[in-house]
Amino acid sequence: MAFGMGDGEIEITLGPTTFTPRETINGRIKIRLPSPLDAREIRVEFYGEVERGSKVERVFRSTQKLGGERTYKDGEVFSFSLSIPEQATPLVAQGTFGAVRDLFSPKPRNWFVHATIDIPMAPDINSRISVYMRH
């Protein structure tokens, strides 16, 4: 479970939190709002983060739109299924050759499920939780 910031919160619930490439992440989000909220959309995504110099890049993204432009209410629940791409392999120590190869094609160290409520003309409500990748 994780909570966002701003005028509301998003609770993310997953069954297992450890996955392998080509598996499906099934879960749900529940929104907590002090009052009804007009938003462009609610979406959830899976991704890995790779450090490239001083920047962090999101890779292996899988996204699902859970709701479109409308007024959202406190307590609404949305189920989701995200496919993990076959290329989303975990970071593994592979000796000198692996270390050199990873300079050109780095592997993510951190993996997340991230939910967003896209609010026009205001900060979005976000929440993310860590998931783990295995072979």
In a domain, 102, yes or no: yes
The residue range of the domain holding 111 is: 9-133
Q: What angle do CA 132, 133, 135 make, to 5 degrees?
A: 145
Write the CATH number for 102: 2.60.40.640
Is 102:89 a contact under the CB 8 Å cutoff? no
In a domain, 58, yes or no: yes
Q: Which residue type sits at 109?
A: R
Residue 117, pLDDT > 70, answer: yes
The three-state (H, E, C) secondary structure of 76-113, written as one string:
CEEEEEEECCCCCCCCCCCHHHHHHHHHHCCCCCEEEE
Q: What angle do CA 99, 101, 106 make, to 5 degrees?
A: 80
In a domain, 1, yes or no: no
Return the higher-pLDDT residue of 99 and 32.
32
The pLDDT, as a whole number, for residue 3 is 41
Sequence-distant (≥ 6) Cβ neighbours of residue 54 within 8 angstroms: none
Across 93-122, average pLDDT: 73
> From CA 14, how far away is CA 24, in angstroms rounded?
11
Average pLDDT, the chain: 86
In 3D space, the residue among 61, 59, 63 whose CA is nearest the CA of residue 105 turns out to be: 59
In a domain, 17, yes or no: yes
Return the higher-pLDDT residue of 99 and 86.
86
Q: How many domains does the chain have?
A: 1
> Using a CB cutoff of 8 Å and minimum separation of 24, what contacts does 92-96 make?
92/135
In 3D space, the residue among 118, 117, 132 whose CA is nearest the CA of residue 29 turns out to be: 117
SS3 (DSSP) at 75: coil
Q: Which residue type sits at 55?
A: K
